[in-house]
Chain A
Amino acid sequence: MSELVVKGKENKSSVKKLGSEIWKARNAYFFLLPMLVGVIMFGYYPPLMGLYRSLFDWRLSGRMEFVGFNNFKNLFQDITFLNSFPVMLKLFVPSLIIGITVPFIMSELLFAVKNLKLKSIYRILILLPMITPGVVGTLIWKYIYNPQDGIVTAILRLVGLMGKEQVIDWLHNPKTVIPAIIFMGFPWVGGSSVLIYLSGLIGIGNEIFESAKLDGANTIKRIWHIDIPSLIGQFRYFLIFGIIGGLQNFGVQVVLTHGGPGYSTYVPAYYMYTVSFTGGMMGYGCAIGTVLFVLIFIVSVFTFRYLKERS
């Protein structure tokens, strides 16, 4: 900052003025200092380094060699990498749709409840799954999918969809693993998003609902013409952060599937992790990170644009 100030020599008096303003505000900079140092070191340095190092053959051991765009060239001939994109889409699109719509439907159900005591009990029950660490939630689902005696198998045997002796290893069968991951968290009505929608619905205000009632609007019409437009901010938030989070999420792979069986649940971000932390090829990993970054950037800009035009 101060170097920039010194450079503008043509306008000496205003420079001096700015200098004295900066000196006067030295307290402010002092307050900012810890955050500023942190932001530069751990906020700005790593992503810039990530972009730059994608041009290097950079190893975990520290060995480094400039290779230009070779990493990217190899990447687009790397079958594992290319195949990980369809897998990502298969996992990400259904989860995103579920994550946005189901909590909304649940919040409408809760909003319609008249009994206030029940309503507040429901709200607490919705949050209950969040008091276990997220990892525990996933591990409990691992048991639910247990091929011998998990809940899924037990229910399907009970209703006759599976034979008594039939065994399906949901998480280790390439045909079932992706639907199984999407189905995790069923019925998806827990967590904060329901409450976020609900507080949005409460915020609309009774007068508007009353006047809609007087106009003869039924519940479906009201939801379509009043509730959804009023919650557009919440929908936008869940959509944008759902996209950003979904494209780089590989939690299930780390905790449950390890990309398997075979390569059937490899998503690009998980491939990045294995390439760099198991394979030690940090530069190649940075190239994957760069591709994902560009992808996330493009998709979120388009979503922003599209949503703006619509509203």
Chain B
Amino acid sequence: MKSKDSTIYQILLNTIIIILLFTLIYPLFMAVWCSFKSELGFMYTRWYPTIPLRIGNYSTVFPKIWRYIVNTIFVAVVGTTGMLLISSASAYTFARLKFPGKEFIFMSFMALMMVPGVLTLIPNYMLYKSFGLLDSYWALILPSFIAPVGSVFLLRSFFRSIPEEIFESARMDGAKEFTVFLKICLPLSVPILATLCIMSVNGTWNSYFWPMITIRNNDLLTISAGLITRFQSEYGTNYPLSFSGYMLASIPLLLIFIFANQYYIEGITSAAIKI
């Protein structure tokens, strides 16, 4: 009797979840199939997928979008590499080396997480302006070097969890501190580096506000900013074409999601657990 009850309960539960998830995902799927429709097809059959697929939509929007995607990849690669090097070097120092002022400097880094963006936006913009960095890749890359102070915190905890003997024996063999960091510490930390890497790439992909205000030159815009400024004003009224643009913009994230699923999930969930 009891097991029958719980079967009904499970069926009910799964039905509720499926309805919720369907409601959540339906708009996204609709965007996917509408991106393959003609304008006329969209008018009459937008609620469900139809054939033939109009691949042509994609070749229409590709020339408008590819530049944004290439820019975003460039900014993400350079920005993320720099961020990982800089923050892992300082996290290593905090985790493994002794020096006067350590706690103070660490706390002063962490305190930055408390500074809200509204306070820094204008001075930051004027700072980039006075250095003549507006309208250049620097305006897009530099923020990702410094912004994630939190990554220093995550890296430090990870570096601390590596047994000290591993480092000690390397130092005994006469390895310089920099070699220990580069050849021993970093290779052991691939999981956390991958997680942070995905967090950072995801951040670059999603950021639109800063690129929107600092970049005027269409050839330098990144994807999210490009979509809401130029692309929207050009194709905003043609839904199938806008949807194909949006889908094209999502492909790189989709690839990351497929090939680095585990790191991706860790990347977006680890922030809350650690704090």
Contact = CB atoms under 8 A, between A and B. Distances in A.
Contacts of B23: 186-187
Interface in A1-57: 1, 18, 21-22, 25, 27-29, 31-32, 34-36, 38-39, 41-47, 49-51, 53
A127 interface: yes
A140 to B, nearest CB: 5
Contact of A131 (B102, B178, B254): B254
A22 B272 contact: no
Interface centre among B117, B125, B213, by most A CB within 10 Å? B117
Q: Secondary structure of the B side of the interface? A: helix
Interface stretch (A73-81, A89-97, A108-116, A205-213): A108-116
Nearest to B42: A149
A296 B116 contact: yes
A53 B14 contact: no
Interface residues of A, number: 88
A143 B117 CA distance: 30
Nearest to A237: B272
Contacts of A187: 20, 23-24
A39 B112 contact: yes
A28 B116 contact: no
Interface stretch (A161-169, A175-183, A287-295): A287-295
Interface stretch (B49-57, B161-169, B188-196, B245-253): B245-253
B268 interface: yes
Nearest to B34: A143
Interface residues of B, number: 83
A136 interface: yes
A125 B102 CA distance: 44
Contact of B249 (A106, A133, A195, A269): A133
A264 B239 CA distance: 27
B142 interface: yes
Interface string A131-147: 11111100111011000
B122 A132 contact: no
Interface in B83-101: 85-87, 89-90, 92-93, 97-101
A8 B239 CA distance: 70
Nearest to B142: A42
Given A34-B86, A122-B17, A244-B116, A141 B27 contact: yes
A98 interface: no
A270 B246 CA distance: 25
A307 interface: no
Contacts of B239: 143
A276 interface: yes
Given A133-B249, A289-B119, A42 B265 contact: no
A49 B115 CA distance: 13
Nearest to B232: A139
Contact of B257 (A114, A127, A296): A127
A199 interface: yes
A35 B121 contact: no
Contacts of A189: 20-21, 24
B86 to A, nearest CB: 5
B152 A133 contact: no
B146 A39 contact: yes
Nearest to A24: B99
Contact of B123 (A46, A199, A238, A247): A46
A46 B127 contact: yes
Contacts of A144: 27
A249 to B, nearest CB: 10
B28 A132 contact: yes
B97 A125 contact: no
A4 B38 CA distance: 71
A4 to B, nearest CB: 9
Interface string A235-254: 00110000010011001001
A100 interface: no
B275 A51 contact: no
Contacts of A244: 116
B120 interface: yes
B137 interface: no
A132 B93 contact: no
Interface of B: 10, 13-14, 16-17, 20-21, 23-25, 27-28, 30-31, 43, 46, 85-87, 89-90, 92-93, 97-102, 105, 108-109, 112, 115-127, 142-143, 145-146, 149, 152, 177-178, 181, 205-206, 208-209, 212-213, 223-224, 227-228, 232, 239, 242, 246-247, 249-250, 253-254, 257, 261, 264-265, 268-269, 272-273, 275
Q: Which 7 A-B pairs have the closest CB atoms?
A: A25-B99, A49-B123, A35-B90, A46-B123, A38-B146, A28-B99, A46-B120
Given A31-B178, A43-B115, A47-B123, 6 more contacts: A45-B123, A128-B25, A129-B25, A132-B28, A254-B228, A293-B115
